[in-house]
Structures are given as C-alpha cells and as structure tokens.
Structure 1
Amino acid sequence: MSALPLARFTVLDLTRVRAGPTCVKQLSDWGARVVKVEGPGEDDMTGARDGSDFQNLHRDKRSVVLDLKRPEAVAALKRLAARADVLVENFRPDVKHRLGIAYEALRAVNPRLVYASISGFGQEGPYRDRPGFDMVAQAMGGLMSVTGTPAGGPLRAGIPVADLCSGLFGAIGILIALLDREATGEGRWVQTSLLQAQVAMLDFQAVRWLVDGVVPGRTGNDHPYMTPMGVYPAADGEIVIGASGQEQYRKFCAALGAPELLEDPRFATMEARVENRAAFTEAVAARTRAAPAGHWVALFNAAGIACGPINAIDRVFADPQVRAQGLVRPVRHPRLGELRLLGSPIGLSGAAPGDARPAPEKGEHTDEVLREFGFSAEEIERLRAAGAAM
C-alpha cells in the first residue's frame, strides 16, 4: 500500500484538552507527521498520560518538550515552524501574542504555514479572552435549551459536542487551506471556536428561529415535528423507530399490524399525529411492548422502516455492523500492553490507516525531532542547559 494521503505534511501540535487534539487526530489518522510540542509542567488536562482518553487522543505523535515561556524555546519553535506545513493551537487568544508565537510572527518565518486556532469563543468579539469549556458552549450555543424533556430542565449532551465539532471544523479548515496553498503558494490562518461550532451544529433548530421565527423548546426523545420518530418500548428494552412521510407511515402501520392507526383521523396525517402525539405514542407502544426488540428491528427494517435498538457502549462495539466498519484500531504500548482505540470513520479507496502508534512519553522525541529540523547536538544541549527544552 502506498503512503497515506497526508504523509507529506508535517504538523506542529500545540494543543491540549480535547478540541485541538481532536482536530489533529483527523490529520494524524491519515498519515500526517505530527510533533506534539508540550510544556514542561503538568500533562494534558485530558487526564493521566496512561489513561485511555490521553492514549486515544494523542496516538500517532512524537513529543518534544519546549518551555515557551523562555525566549530560547520560542526561537526553537520558530525554527520548527519554518519547516512545518501546519501549526495547530488552542490557547486563549491573548496567550499566543504574549508568547510571541501568534500567526503574524510565524508567518514571517514561513509564509506557507497553515496556522489553525481553536478557542472557546473566537479570535474577535467581547468574549474572545474568556476561558471556554464544552458544557459552557453547549449552554450558550443553544444545545442545552433543546435537549431534555419538556417538563425537565435543560440537559447537556452525553458527549462533548462543541469540543468534537470545533475540532472537526478546524481539521476541515486546515485541509481547505492546504488545498488553497497549492494554488497560491501561501498559507492561511484558520479559525474556529467551541461557540461557533456549537451554533453551526444547531442546524434545523437554528433556522426554525432565523427563518420561521420559532424558538424551539425541549421535546425529549420526540422529533420536533415528525412522528413516529422516537423511542418506543419493546418487551425486553427500548427501540428507536423513524418513519418520515405518509408512504413510510403506511408501511409502518402495515408492519406494526395496526391498520386502525392509518384510519383514525387523529393519526391520519403528520400534522394530526404531532397534535395528538401522546395518544399516538401510547397506541404504538401498546403494540411494540408485546414483542422483543429484535423482532421489531428485523420486522421494520424488512419493511423499509428505520429501526434500531438503544445500545449501551459495550453492545455498540459488539454490533456486527460496527465490527465490519473497522472502527477499532489496535495499538501496542510498551508499558500498557495491547490497547483498543477509536479508528477513523472515514473510508478511502486504496488507503486505510494501519495499526496506531501509542501516545508518546513526554519529551520522548525531543532530541530526535530537533535533529531532524537541523539542530546540532551543541544547540540541543544549550537549549537543555537554559531550561528551554527537555
């Protein structure tokens, strides 16, 4: 197999926590040569270095320790940037300026550099210097206002949606800038934030306000304006059923063995079903709770109606379809043994990531990387003696 598609790119990773590492992982999964530039202090806030979270986020990287509070380390970083293709950082906006490593400073040493910044609230605006965390972005970006039941309070999503999506948008922006560089010969400053990503992910809920003037509320497991589209009980658990449109509804009623639901004027149209949702849901539930989940999943899917079980995480990875998609990447860690990490959800013909390399020990590759970037043994020793490298 030929080299992975991004193998020709060198990425300097100054990120920590989750949004930035998520961005970089999209690049390293497809072969980018990633150098994780770390400070000498505590490890990343994603937890202990040997923990599953850190190992998953930071696999396939090499680690260099530079204390960017020292001018010698900043000078060393600029030498790395002069030969890199991409730099990704998720400091608060003021920090990179204070350290002297903002976009303008690094563009001066490498006009081809694609510089990506991910922050809590963006590089401009009244909140630019605020600290940002996923749950705050979920709250301020509207997600919590539409998550939960009508009678209950707002809820955060069970995964860090703002972190993950800002990382994905950051990676997309980097790839756009790299494509643009092929035409212009120059890099760009790619910017996104947790708040921007979260607002963008509101999708149809956003345009319900922007276009229709409707402020969406919480509907729990019910779709805001479609049914059957939600959670229903089975004899041994719960299932999700989705039937959109009248033709699908006719198939649904036939598969359920409930022609009366099609004939009942309270349920005959989508608008009527939404208006009488409680009665409709109970009528469907009276049927679905009479048989196990596997029965309904097979029956509805055979009829062309989307239906699936609600899997706990262990059952997700036991599912034959998930197994067939190759979403688990094995890695052999020299101390921790065999680890199973999350793979890329992207498929490319003729290319597939191989076994992942474990997350590096802190500063494991400092000498190796600095030599590759043209530092002499004497220069490396001087950096160490000054406390600028480790």
Structure 2
Amino acid sequence: MMASASQQAGRAPLEGLRIVDLTQVVVGPYATQFLADFGAEVIKIEHPSGDLARWIGGRSPTPGMAAKYLHLNRNKKSLALDLKKPGALDALKKLIASADVVVHNMRPPAAARLGLSAEDLIRLKPDLIYCSVVGFGQEGRYRDKPAYDSIIQGASGLAAINNGGDGQPRFVPMVIADRTVGVMVANSILMAVVQRLRHGGPQVVEVPMFESMTAFVLAEHMFLKTFDPPLGATGDSRLLDPNSRPVRTADGYLCVTANTDAQVFAMFDAMGRPELRTDPRFAEKRARFENIGEMFRIRNEVFATRTTAEWLEVLEAADIPAMPLHTLDSVLDDPHLADTGLFQKIEHPTEGTITNLRNPVRFSTYEPALKWPAPHIGEHSIELLRDAGLGDEDIQAMVASGATVDHAAAREATR
C-alpha cells in the first residue's frame, strides 16, 4: 500500500537516532526492528558466524538467511565482529562513541569481561542510553542463570495455565515471552530517549524477562489473591474454563465473544434461546461470571448446529464480535489483510521474492517503509568500520584475522 502525500513528506520519528545493537535471536532484534522501521539507524553487531536466528528458522535459498531472521532484522545494517580478536573491540567502542543507544542481551558478567558494562561505555559516551535485556533481574538470586523463551514461559506460570483443559502444561507454540518482552524493550528505550531529551543523560535501563513476563501473566491471573487477605484463588476462571476456546460449528470453528449485556442478550436471541435473558444465572454480569462455564456449555451446544458462515452472518447482523478461526495458512488469504497491505511481496537481492510483514502501525505524517531487507552477515562491515574512523589497512588486517567479514569480497569469491 502506498503512503499518502502527507505520509511521504513526513520525517521518520526516530531519524538521527543511532543504536548499536548487540542482541541476537528474538527478544532484542524484535525490539530494534520496530525502532528501525520508524527511522532509527540500527547497527546490528554479530559474530562472523552470524546471529543464531539465521540458522534455526528453517531452510532458505542462501544459507544463513532463514525466514525468522528475515522477519526480525529488516532496515538494519550488519557489522560482523569477533570481539575476542585484535581490533574488534576497539572498533566497536569507536562506533559506540558515536551512538545514542547500546542494547545487548548478554549476561552482565559476560558484558563486563568484554569491557562493555554500563560504566565502561558511559565513560566513552557520557549521555549514552545503555539497555541490557537480562533473563532475571540482577538484584535477585537468579541473576546469573541463562534464559530462553521456553524457560521464561515455564517460570512465569504461562505454560501451566496453557494446559488445554487436561492439566498438562504446554508452551505457547511461538516465542511469546521473547516477543512480549521485546515490545517492553522498545518502549523502555523510547522512554529513555524522551528522558534524555527532557532531562539529559545518561540512562541505564535493565529489562528482566522473568519479572516482566510474570507481571504480564499475573496482571490477568493474580486475580483474587490480589487482595490481602485473599478473597479466593489465582486464575481468571472465565479465561481458564475448558469451554473458553474456539467454538465448534457444523463445519468448522469460529471465535465469538460477548461481554456486555447488549452483546450477551443479542447472542441469546441469535441462538434461538431468548429465555436465557431472564435466567437468573445469566441475567446480569456478576451472575454470568459465576456461571460462565454453564453459559459456555450451552453456547457451544447450540453453535454446533449451524455452519460457520451461517453463524457469522447472524452474529454480524447483531453486532456481536466474531471471526472465523484461521489457520496459519488461511490467514495469509484473509481479505481484510489484503486490503490493509500487511503482506508485501518484495524482491530480496539474494533470496528472490519474499513476503515481508509490513509494520502495521500508522502515523498521520509517516508510514514505516522497507528501506532495505535483512542484511547478510557483515554486509555493512567495511562502510561502518570506515565510519568509525578505521583506515583501510586496519580494516583489511581485521578481515585477514577473522575479526570482521567483508561480505562483498566473500560473496565475489564464491561466484
């Protein structure tokens, strides 16, 4: 979808913000891609072997360009550095001296051993925004433990409540902790940018995954243990009821939610059960909550008698929120998403035609656009090292030692 004239004329909100991104896999790259979409210059620092996400996201036409990596790293530049080899760390620090933000997801002791602690880098750039994404808050006993998405899903209680009604805990089949915390990381960096603009810097930001995801889950499910003394158990029973799931129809499934009195009563009418309006179990909100399992059971029995298309027509006419249950494949063909241009066919320089997921956020004067697709390992190494003040002789010495990668030369050599 083309941007309007006013959007095309607008300047990117984060234009001029330089971010040195030492994160990898999902949580950090998800955050920094959002910032890159809105104009930040994001310099992705990765080992010459590449971000792990390049290799664990399935096959690709060119090795190291997996789909998951492509969807997390557009609009960024890649600088390959082996920080344990001569010259690489000095080059990185020169680059950081010109940056506004540094973000990493290393464990803090590892960052400190490399000379990349907050104290080290603020000496280089006194107004630096330093953001560390950690598995566990550094004031707690778990501070040195490693973490991945599955670890945080389990530890935060999310896997326990995602039990399918049979009591067996399950991970949500996507890296939801990484992506949820990634949004928090982007927000935290933006708040630090605003704070620096208004009050000056520096600012040291820590975003702990365990605490962040636990707060995210318990804001929903601490429930009656919020009160002291507790008024009951944890867990929102409306959400945890076994019948709180996509509703089976005569030929498939649909998703329907009725919360207000008007929606619930309209749904009863649509179901052909108007007498439920005055049933004391369902006549008002508190009673419905206490009897939500029975209401779901009745609803599910009735909905099984007609097709999905028939129900959607009836529910839409009554202004009751409902949508068909999409699969991962069918959602790709959703007509509304075609209208809004979420899926963009683009030509990648090496991967051929790919489907890019457009950033869906709209500003009145700016629409985030694809400046360039996700880069190859070290695709921008030479230009960024020159920008940091290194001469060609020093750069070639780093290439020769394996401290960096000259992507263009390596690609030419393989032709």
Is TM-score (shorter-chain normalized) higher than 0.5?
Answer: yes
Deviation string 1:96-121 (CA, Å, 9 cap, x unpaired) is 00111111111101012211111211
Cα distance, 1:278–1:27 mapped onto 2, change above 3 Å: closer
Equivalent residues in 2 for 1:128-207, closer than 5 Å: 128-202=143-217, 203-207=219-223
Note the C-alpha offset of 1:215.
3.7
Amino acid at match of 1:209: K
Structure 2 residue 335 is matched with structure 1 residue 320: yes
Q: Of residues 17, 22, 35 in structure 2, which corresponds to 1:27? A: 35
Cα distance, 1:10–1:16 mapped onto 2, change above 3 Å: same
Q: Of residues 216, 219, 227 in structure 1, which corresponds to 2:234? A: 216
Note the C-alpha offset of 1:152.
2.5
Taking the aligned partners of 2:399 and 2:246, their CA distance within structure 1 comes to: 59
Provide the alpha-carbon RMSD of the alignment: 2.4
Unaligned runs of 5+ in 1: none
Deviation string 1:54-100 (CA, Å, 9 cap, x unpaired) is 11111211111111123522111110000011111111121100111
Q: Of residues 280, 295, 316 in structure 2, which corresponds to 1:301? A: 316
Structure 2 residue 263 is matched with structure 1 residue 255: no
Counterpart contact for 1:273–1:280, Cα < 8 Å: yes
Deviation string 1:326-346 (CA, Å, 9 cap, x unpaired) is 322443212211111222232
Unaligned runs of 5+ in 2: 1-7, 56-62, 406-415
Equivalent residues in 2 for 1:346-385, closer than 5 Å: 346-385=361-400
Counterpart contact for 1:230–1:241, Cα < 8 Å: no
Counterpart contact for 2:220–2:236, Cα < 8 Å: no
* SS at structure 2 position matched to 1:340: strand
Taking the aligned partners of 1:328 and 1:239, their CA distance within structure 2 comes to: 23
Structure 2 residue 236 is matched with structure 1 residue 236: no
* SS at structure 2 position matched to 1:159: coil
Taking the aligned partners of 1:313 and 1:103, their CA distance within structure 2 comes to: 42
The worse-fitting range, judged by mean Cα deviation, of 104-113 and 260-269 is 260-269
The corresponding residue for 1:340 is 355
Taking the aligned partners of 1:145 and 1:217, their CA distance within structure 2 comes to: 11
* SS at structure 2 position matched to 1:301: helix
Counterpart contact for 1:90–1:118, Cα < 8 Å: yes
Count of residue pairs the alignment pairs up: 387
Taking the aligned partners of 1:329 and 1:175, their CA distance within structure 2 comes to: 27
Cα distance, 1:384–1:355 mapped onto 2, change above 3 Å: closer
Amino acid at match of 1:115: Y
Cα distance, 1:105–1:188 mapped onto 2, change above 3 Å: same
* SS at structure 2 position matched to 1:348: coil
Taking the aligned partners of 1:19 and 1:287, their CA distance within structure 2 comes to: 42
Q: TM-score, normalised by structure 2?
A: 0.86
Q: Of residues 65, 87, 104 in structure 2, which corresponds to 1:89? A: 104
The corresponding residue for 1:4 is 12
* SS at structure 2 position matched to 1:62: strand
Cα distance, 1:42–1:8 mapped onto 2, change above 3 Å: closer
The corresponding residue for 1:41 is 49
* SS at structure 1 position matched to 2:191: helix
The corresponding residue for 2:24 is 16
The worse-fitting range, judged by mean Cα deviation, of 147-156 and 72-81 is 147-156
Cα distance, 1:277–1:204 mapped onto 2, change above 3 Å: closer
List, as ranges, runs of 4+ consecutive aligned residues in structure 1 with deviation greater than 6 Å. Answer: none
* SS at structure 2 position matched to 1:294: helix
The corresponding residue for 1:288 is 303
